[in-house]
Every structure is written in C-alpha cells, then in structure tokens.
Amino acid sequence: MDEAVKLSLDEAWTLSVDILEGHGYSAAHAAAIARSVVAAQGDECHSHGLYRLIDCVRTLRHGGVDPRAVPEVIDQAPGVVRVDARGGCSLLAFETGREHLVEKARSYGVAVLAVNNAFHFSALWPEVESLAERGLVALAMTPSHAYVAPAGGRSPLMGTNPIAFSWPRPDGMPFTFDFATSVVARGEVELHRRAGKRIPEGWALDAEGRPTADPTAALAGALLPFGGHKGSVLSMMIELLAGPLIGDRLGHQTQPANGSGEGTPQHGEFLLALDPRSFLGPDAEARLQQAEALFEGVVVQGARLPSQRRHAARERSQAEGVAIPAELYDELVELRDGDGAQP
Amino acid sequence: MDEAVKLSLDEAWTLSVDILEGHGYSAAHAAAIARSVVAAQGDECHSHGLYRLIDCVRTLRHGGVDPRAVPEVIDQAPGVVRVDARGGCSLLAFETGREHLVEKARSYGVAVLAVNNAFHFSALWPEVESLAERGLVALAMTPSHAYVAPAGGRSPLMGTNPIAFSWPRPDGMPFTFDFATSVVARGEVELHRRAGKRIPEGWALDAEGRPTADPTAALAGALLPFGGHKGSVLSMMIELLAGPLIGDRLGHQTQPANGSGEGTPQHGEFLLALDPRSFLGPDAEARLQQAEALFEGVVVQGARLPSQRRHAARERSQAEGVAIPAELYDELVELRDGDGAQP
C-alpha cells in the first residue's frame, strides 16, 4: 500500500457508524454493520472491511435494503429459530437471533438459525467465531447471486456460496474457515480485469460456456466451482439448505439491486450450532483437548491452519489500528460528508 | 468385464448373508451388511459392492470387528441420539439408531445421530438416501485412517473422510452426493499400481512429502485433499464432527486391523437430519418443488446431477440383476464354502 491512512479501531468504528447513520441506516443496523466491517478490517480481510460501506450505501440508494427494518424472531420448532430480516441487512438479524440459537443448542444439543429475506454482504467467519466464543461448534452458509456454473455446465446458476465453520479451542482462537465454493471470488476476476491481466485456466467460462482467460469475458460468463464436481455439489447443498429448506430463494432467483426497482437481492442464511457439552457431558473438556492433536498434526508438518494470518492481524490491529488505502479513505470521508449524507 | 457372472438381487443377497453368517457375523449384522453391499452392487458402485465382503471377513479374522456386537442406544440429548456400536460394524448401529433420529428430527426440526466405536467400510449414500426416503434432508460424514496430507503439508494426517448429502425430491429419486475429500480414493491409486500406470500430478506425495506420479510411492506417502486448502479444511471439519465432538477418534488415531491385535480400526460417524416440515410447515411441499428449479438448471445446460448414473443402474439391476467379475464370484464362493466358513 503506497499511500495508506492509519485509523485506530475506534476511529474506524466512528467513521463506519457515521456513514451508515448519515445515509439512513438505523442505529441498530449501523452498529451491526460497523461491528462486521471493522472486525474484517482488523483481521486484514480488506474485501469485507471498510470498503464494503460503499456497497451498503449503494444498495440502499438502489432500493435493495430497508435500512430501518426491525428483524422479527419466529420460534419455528424446538431446534429451529427463524429471524425474518424483513428486507434489512443480515447482520442485525443474525445478532437478534444469536442468543436464541445458543439457548436452543444448549437445550437440545443441536439447533439451526435461519435468517430470511436479508441483504447479505458480509463474511461469515465473524458469525461462526462468535458462536465458538460461546463454546459452540458452528457451521454457516449462504447463497449469493448466480455467478457460478455447475461442473460440466456452461452458464451461471449457483452463487459463490460461502461456507464457514468454527470450532472452540481451549487455549486460543477458534479453528475457523470461511471459503467461497467458487474457484475464486468474483472480486479476484475484477482485480485481474482492472490490472489488464489474464486469469488462470480453470477459473471461468465465457458467455458461450467456453473456458476463458479473459477476465472481461469471464465476468460476462460464469465462474467455475472449486474442486470440480465435488465443489459443485457442495455449492448445490448450500443453495438447498440456505434456500428452500428455510423458505428462501435460490441464488438464481436473486439479483443485485440495480436501481430499477427490479433487483431482488434478499436471500437466506443457514446457521447450525452444536453444543459439545450436550454431546459429551463431563468428557467435553477432554475431547476438545483431543481435537488439538489434529491442529498440532497440521502445524508440525509446516502446513498452515486456516485463519492463522487473520488472527495474527487481529492482534496487530488491536495494538496499532488498521491501515486503508488513502483513496478508499477519501471516498469514505466523501460518503460521510458529501451529497446524500444527512447530518 | 470379459467374464462376468450374473446374479439376481436375491442371489446376491443370499450369497452375502451366507458368507457373513458362515464366518460368524450375527444374523442382524449379516443382514445390515448384505443390505449395504447389495444396494451398492445394484447401483454399480463396485468398490462398495459384493467385493467388500472379502474385507468384512478379513477384518473379522484380524480381530478388527466384533461380529456379534449388539449396538447400544443412548438418548444423549433431546436432539442427539448416540449408538455405541461396541466394536461391531457401523451399519447395524446406524439401522438401530435411524428411527430414533427420524423421530427426533420430526420433533425438534433438526437432530444428530452419532455412531461410536464402529468398524466402517461402507458408502454413506445408502444411509442418507434412506433418510431422504423418509422425507428428511440428511448429511453424513465419517473419518477413515490417516491417508491424506493437509494442503501445504508433507505427511498423512486425515482420512479420506467422505461426506454425503441427500435431499428428498417430490417426484423421483433423492438428490444425493457422496464423495471422499481426498482427490481420489486410495483404491484408484492401487488400481494404477496394479496396471503399471503412473498417476496424474496433484494426486499424491511420496514418503518424503514430494509430489509423485509413482503409485507405489504414493501408497507409501500421502494422498492430497481435493480442491487444495478448501478441501483440506473441509476434511478437518469432518474429523472434528465425526471424532471429538461425538467422543470418538480422529483419523490418525485409528489403523486398519492387521492381525497383530494392535489395529484400532473403530471410529465414529456423524449424521445430521433436518425435517423440512418442521422448518416450513404447510409451505414444505411448495418449497421442495421450488428446489426442483436448481436441478432443472443443472440438467438443462447439459451437466449431470450426482447419482444420476447410480439411479439408472438401480433400475437396470432390479430388472436384470447384477454382474460381477467371474474371478470375484469364485473368490466369494470359496469364502462361502472354504476353510474358516462354518456350515
């Protein structure tokens, strides 16, 4: 980063809340979104960091999110809680349902939180990690818009459909992963296009369903799923669990908000929580310790655990704050102070 | 298949039961195993078909399975049922717990069946499909012995760790997948070795952790996970859910039975069941119909649904029976009639 602006986490928080509230998000939504983007920025996940505030404002302007929606909690079944986001951002809906999910998982051993009708832009790892911090094992998935072709296919059908998992560790940060089921994020292709670079073989198809190394053709075509047929069916599972099972849309039944009023960006999210203490009773601590043998087995052979870099960045950010490109900072200040923002 | 022997499904069943009971499996275990291997053979999944009877007898001879174990059902939590296989084969344990799982899923919306201390050799799709036939959505996973290196690593740590999923369809066979989280099954490498063929790049490492195209070196080294880091962490999730979470072993804490008495092949299996009717109430039928749009979206662009070939084979086998290599048939007859078999 040639020109960077350093912000303390407090400054990043205030900037985020000011932008969001200034454009009409309720205090509750602004806080939930700020928690997510500041956490991502602090973990140096730039693609889900402060940069996403621009998306939150643009989607609002295009009518793709209700910035003041009050999520509604529905006690769907003993092991299932639904939160209807009512067209608002998914993050407040998740926060509204989280303690219900925790309580159900502790009571029944396993429980599901279904978030419905939500505008969703965030990473899933802050959510599953927040459940692991409460001692639960958590799995989350959500569809996105149709950008990915099924393996063996020619045209976009599934979302980039991320899946995230978190496991509580007795001494330290949870074991957490969060990955898109496409080979790469769409943003990676966009970065190649901006840089005038070709994309590697195996990433994407053009609009005619032919393999392409041209990022512009790829953006007009389809990404490919990771891991061939295996990743493709995993992505289909995510569509089904976070779509029809919870009474919500499939990826290809959504579109980004586009200002025409025709965008239907809202969709669902599926979260599963498992309580080790319900599964194991007094053996829970010993079994969580046993799991450490797996993590040690990875590290001892020189391989990395997922989130290792992210957790290291978190420690740095808590001490030193975050750095964002000066250009992004200027854009965010303009968003805070410029036309459309309300004092 | 140059020389094949045709068997009706009834003949395949009788041959399987006779071999298993003749070597000491209880009638209940013999029936559960026969159901699995005949179903796999009928679906032309040769690697999990009648061929596996040889493995069931060899493991028994090596002390790796208790052929008369009576599974014990433990009502662990409202949403969790455990079945302790007590050193017996996983299949009878699953069948013993299945209706408990179904009942819990229907009562709570979501439930888990944990199978513990089981000898496990079978495919997972017959299990998840049997749950989908009861109207549930099902996900299953199990570790195997340490054959797979983590992405970025050098030596075997995880099992080939299959994951299977099944979704009920209103008109027709469930949408089902079942795949190993290694790039290929170990059996594929073994087949290359027997045929004197090299294996493709990206399948395996040798004992020093270097990429290898030599199947013998690969069998002494480690397979690689599918899909790089993403498949690798998914495999770790399977180790955790079907291991420590349910009070059972990690893959590297097991070994195949080897006759020395030191083999500890038993491990766990994790099954999750979700009840669409609990999630959706009166909307369930309409939402299951909505999911068909995803399957149609795959088929219409010329891609295949998982299990399509298997389901077509099932129809053929029900009409015409199954064909197995003459050499395998002779080996099975020898196993039924020869030394070690009891009349």
Please write the tens of the pLDDT for every residue from A278-324. 999 999 999 999 999 999 999 999 999 999 999 999 999 999 999 99
In chain A, where the domains are located = 1-61+307-343, 70-182+232-278, 183-224
A226/B230 CB distance under 8 A: yes
B79/A110 CB distance under 8 A: yes
* Chain A residues within 8 A of B280 when measuring between CB atoms: 245, 247
A283/B246 CB distance under 8 A: no
Per DSSP bridges, beta strands B72-77 and B175-179 are unpaired
Question: How many A-B residue pairs are in contact by the CB < 8 A criterion?
Answer: 235
The predicted-structure confidence for A139-172, as pLDDT tens digits, reads as follows 999 999 999 999 999 999 999 999 999 999 999 8
User: How far is the CA of B145 from the CAs of A52, B170, B281, in angstroms?
Assistant: 43, 37, 42
Q: Which amino acid is at B127?
A: E
* Chain A residues within 8 A of B304 when measuring between CB atoms: 152
Cβ pair B22, B57 in contact under 8 A: no
Q: Which residues pair with A116 in a beta bridge?
A: A84
B109/A77 CB distance under 8 A: yes
CA distance B311 to B129: 11
Q: Which backbone phi and psi does A33 adopt, to 5 degrees? A: -65, -45
DSSP-based three-state secondary structure for A143: coil
The full 3-state SS of chain B, as one line of letters, equals: CCCEEEECHHHHHHHHHHHHHHCCCCHHHHHHHHHHHHHHHHCCCHHHCCCHHHHHHHHHHCCCCCCCCCCEEEEEECCEEEEECCCCEHHHHHHHHHHHHHHHHHHHCEEEEEEEEEECCCCCHHHHHHHHCCCCEEEEECCCCCCECCCCCCCCCECCCCEEEEECCCCCCCEEEEECCECCCHHHHHHHHHCCCCCCCCCEECCCCCECCCHHHHHHCEECECCHHHHHHHHHHHHHHCCHHHCCCCHHHCCCCCCCCCCCCCEEEEEEEECHHHHHHHHHHHHHHHHHHHHHHHHCCCCCCCCHHHHHHHHHHHHHCEEEEHHHHHHHHHHHHCCCCCC
pLDDT-derived band at B264, boundaries 50, 70, 90: confident
* Chain B residues within 8 A of A167 when measuring between CB atoms: 237, 240
**How much is the average pLDDT of B247-272?**
88
* Residue B218 clears pLDDT 80, i.e. is over it: yes
Pick the CATH number of B1-61+307-343 from 1.10.1530.10, 2.70.98.40, 3.30.930.10, 1.10.260.40: 1.10.1530.10
B157/A298 CB distance under 8 A: yes
CA distance B186 to B172: 32
Mean pLDDT, all residues of chain A = 95
Provide the strand spans (E) within chain A: 4-7, 72-77, 80-84, 110-118, 137-141, 162-167, 175-180, 204-205, 222-223, 267-274, 322-325
pLDDT-derived band at B258, boundaries 50, 70, 90: confident
* Chain B residues within 8 A of A181 when measuring between CB atoms: 230
**How much is the average pLDDT of B52-67?**
94
Report percent pLDDT > 90 for chain A. 90
B294/A250 CB distance under 8 A: yes
Q: Which backbone phi and psi does A141 adopt, to 5 degrees? A: -155, 155
Cβ pair B141, A303 in contact under 8 A: no
* Residue B2 clears pLDDT 70, i.e. is over it: no
Q: State the pLDDT at residue A2.
A: 64
B108/A79 CB distance under 8 A: yes
A108/B108 CB distance under 8 A: yes
Cβ pair A290, A139 in contact under 8 A: no
Q: Which tokens sit at A110?
A: 């396993």
The DSSP H or E segment spanning A292 is helix A284-299
Q: Any catalytic annotation for residue A130?
A: no
* Residue B343 clears pLDDT 70, i.e. is over it: no
Q: State the pLDDT at residue B185.
A: 86
* Chain B residues within 8 A of A274 when measuring between CB atoms: 112, 241, 245
Which sign does the torsion angle of CA B232, B238, B241, B247 carry? negative
Q: State the pLDDT at residue A342.
A: 66
- Contact partners, residue B114, CB within 8 Å, separation at least 6: A279, B76, B80, B81, B82, B83, B245, B246, B247, B248, B268, B269, B270, B271
Q: For residue A194, count CB atoms less than 10 angstroms from its CB and return exposed for 0-12, middle for 13-18, buried for 19 or more.
A: exposed
pLDDT-derived band at A25, boundaries 50, 70, 90: very high
DSSP-based three-state secondary structure for A80: strand
Best of B75, B104, B279 to disrupt the A interface (most A CBs within 10 Å) is B279
The predicted-structure confidence for A189-248, as pLDDT tens digits, reads as follows 988 998 999 999 999 999 999 999 999 999 999 999 999 999 999 999 999 999 999 999
Q: Which amino acid is at B258?
A: N
Smallest CA–CA distance, residue B247 to chain A, in Å, is: 6
* Residue A343 clears pLDDT 60, i.e. is over it: no
* Chain A residues within 8 A of B149 when measuring between CB atoms: 301, 303
What is the CATH number assigned to the segment(s) A183-224? 3.30.60.50
Q: State the pLDDT at residue B194.
A: 87
Q: Catalytic: which of A188, A190, A292, A331? A: A188
Q: Which backbone phi and psi does B95 adopt, to 5 degrees? A: -60, -35
Among all chains, which residue has been given the structure tokens 């849309």? A249
* Residue A37 clears pLDDT 80, i.e. is over it: yes
Q: Which backbone phi and psi does B148 adopt, to 5 degrees? A: -120, 130
Residue A185 vs residue A233, higher pLDDT: A233
CA distance B87 to B81: 18
**For B258-271, b where at least 16 C-beta lie within 10 A, e where not — what string?**
eeeeebebbbbbbb
CA distance A67 to A60: 7
Range with the poorest average pLDDT among A6-20, A29-43, A183-197, B241-255: A183-197
User: How far is the CA of B13 from the CAs of A337, B123, B310, in angstroms?
Assistant: 76, 17, 19
DSSP-based three-state secondary structure for A201: coil
**How much is the average pLDDT of B257-269?**
82
Best of A117, A139, A148, A230 to disrupt the B interface (most B CBs within 10 Å) is A230
**How much is the average pLDDT of A31-46?**
96
**How much is the average pLDDT of B262-282?**
93
CA B152 to chain centre: 27
Residue of B nearest to A281 (CA): B76
Q: Any catalytic annotation for residue A188?
A: yes
> Which residue of A108, A239, A247 is in closest CB contact with B283?
A247
**How much is the average pLDDT of B234-252?**
97
CA distance A118 to A96: 13
Q: State the pLDDT at residue A259.
A: 74
Architecture field, domain A70-182+232-278: 2-Layer Sandwich (3.30)
Architecture field, domain B183-222: 2-Layer Sandwich (3.30)
Smallest CA–CA distance, residue A24 to chain B, in Å, is: 33
> Which residue of B76, B110, B177 is in closest CB contact with A279?
B76
The predicted-structure confidence for B300-326, as pLDDT tens digits, reads as follows 999 999 999 999 999 999 999 999 999
B294/A241 CB distance under 8 A: no
Q: State the pLDDT at residue B261.
A: 67
Q: State the pLDDT at residue A34.
A: 98
Q: Which backbone phi and psi does A339 adopt, to 5 degrees? A: -60, 140
A240/B112 CB distance under 8 A: no
Residue of B nearest to A305 (CA): B233
Q: State the pLDDT at residue A266.
A: 93
Domain covering B69-179+225-305 assigned CATH 3.30.1370.60 in the classification? yes
